[in-house]
Structure 1
Amino acid sequence: MSWVVIDGLSVAYGGTTVLDRVHLEIPRGSLTAVLGPSGCGKTTLLRAIAGLLPAAGGTIRVGEKLLSSPTVQRAPEKRGVGWVPQDASLFPHLTVGENIGFGLKRSPGRSGRIADLAAMVGLGELIDRAPSQLSGGQAQRVALARSLAPRPDLVLLDEPFAALDPQLRSTLRREVADLLRGQSNTSLLVTHDQEEALSLADYVAVMRDGRILQWGTPHEVYERPISRWVAAFVGDTVEMDGWWSGGRVQCALGLVEAEMADGSESVDGAPVCVMLRPEWLNVTAGGTDATVTAVSYAGHDALVGLELPTGFAVRARVAAPDLPRRGDQVTVGIRHRALAYPVVSASVPTPAATR
């Protein structure tokens, strides 16, 4: 059952539409990531949910509570929504404990709640420390604890790991995801980092130009992207021209098993764009002859550039122990059914062009 329902949400700045009839449903207790390039409207979506921006249309509902509609605009402090910003934004004149408890009413259990939250985020020994004495990761833990203190119905995270160094970012985001799930919080994370969205979230919503293009589990979005743009944005792709032939496509790699990615039907002989992930290609497994032209080593694996006899270039992802060398003659097979997209006359911009 959906806990958060956003239906037809539109937000405009002046005459410019930033969110265009957004529809998004979030199951209770899940972590959903909104993934998209900079400027696509991700943070605007969070601000509208939090009540920091007025909606031009549509509704926002959390549980039984209507937060926003054409006739209702609930105040931010009455929405039951927690916020974790990109920078921790702690109050410098308050201690760690005072920052955590900032949104809590004065009550007999207040100090115990603060102590529990500080311990939960691993800062129980630092409760009297000033924000200036914290590392970046510690400051973000305080911001998370502060957002959880009032027991919100929904936690919003606005790229909270973007300012951290890569190693700390990887560690902290996993800790935060585990903590949110352990508390059964319903959370909405916005990010432009594909790895972050796919590895952390229960569900991913891919956003572009103020619209949600696709929503599903990370596996569904990665394995069955609804469009060429989504496919290229959420991961590496190998694309080539092809022609549909009864559940197969004829392309540079021969006659390949395929399915239409958008669920449509195609007639035999119709032109299609064939899409494969590099890891769906199998080097030295029998298939089409190829020459290794490049090896981009990444430690655990590598992207291997391959040139087919026709001169067409493809890339395969190969595990590090099995890496060929530049100049090696290999064969290329396919270990996963290809996806096919109908060919349209207008050119489709790549994600790189919108970043």
Structure 2
Amino acid sequence: MGVKILAIETSCDETAAAVVVDGVKILSNIISSQVDVHRKFGGVVPEVASRKHLELVNPVIREALIAAGLDFTGLDAVAVTYGPGLVGALLVGVAAAKAMAFALDIPLIGVNHLEGHIYANFLVRPDLPFPLVCLVVSGGHTDLVLIRHHGDYVLLGSTRDDAAGEAFDKVARVLGLGYPGGPLIDRLARDGDEEAVDLPRSYLEEGSLDFSFSGLKSAVINHLHRCRQQGEEADRAHMAASFQKAVVDVLTAKTLEAARRYGCSTIILAGGVAANSRLRSLLDARARQEGRRLFYPPPVLCTDNAAMIACAAYYRYLRGEESPLTLNAVPHLSITGR
């Protein structure tokens, strides 16, 4: 039947487990979201997330195996996200995976959460050509990565302050939209004029592939304050559209610059913000103008899930890479493994 890998993902507020065969065939992909738990706080509370993972990790693993039609003895390896993420949340998944690997005497494969997001693309398109540039954009990360071949990553740029997804959440909060902010702003922006509010774009110093969104977030807050002081009601749809366009303009420009600089004809998107409709449409159009191709996973594989972790683990399995049972959570793990 091929190489069957059970993967566990508990880096933030989703408890997830999946069984994937040969890195492409998803037998199960179970996700238990904590969004409703954290919504009242306006964001993820780490201690609450850890406790929920403790409650859910065994039932979710059990459900993944049942959905896959397997028991523990049918597995070839167990994979787990060991960073980056919330340390308490990560430890729950790591402990569960180590226990299974030890009890079953099968390989344990630790996977970088960002690598997992990247491999959501290979899960649906295993023939993507190298080299390629990947924009990893989520609530906690905004990174540009050059991928020369499987397992060979060069970090080209990252955010110096707020990640794009974090900025979406914060702006959604001040607009009174709720949490999580990305999908809500994306939806509201369709009814707005993205040129209605003049907002800054931070491209940083010449040649930089880093990102910065804190100034943009502050500009939105200041605009809303000025409107209130003048007794005016800001149009939320216009604000959402203008903010979203400002973020997408910078993400698109930097990603295409990276592709040009490193001679990549293929660009991929990864992470929760990769589901943003404006980012997909603009980057796709600009890439086509330059003779490049853009790929991205379906929305269910953009957000945190365990199938992407299983896919990344499969390529490590093929290379004979195995993690020791002393594997620990690394909350600030870089895509380069440091």
Return the structure number with greater strand share: 1
Structure number, greater radius of gyration: 1
Q: Fold conserved (TM > 0.5)?
A: no
Higher relative contact order (CA 8 A, sep 6+): 2
TM-score (norm 2): 0.28
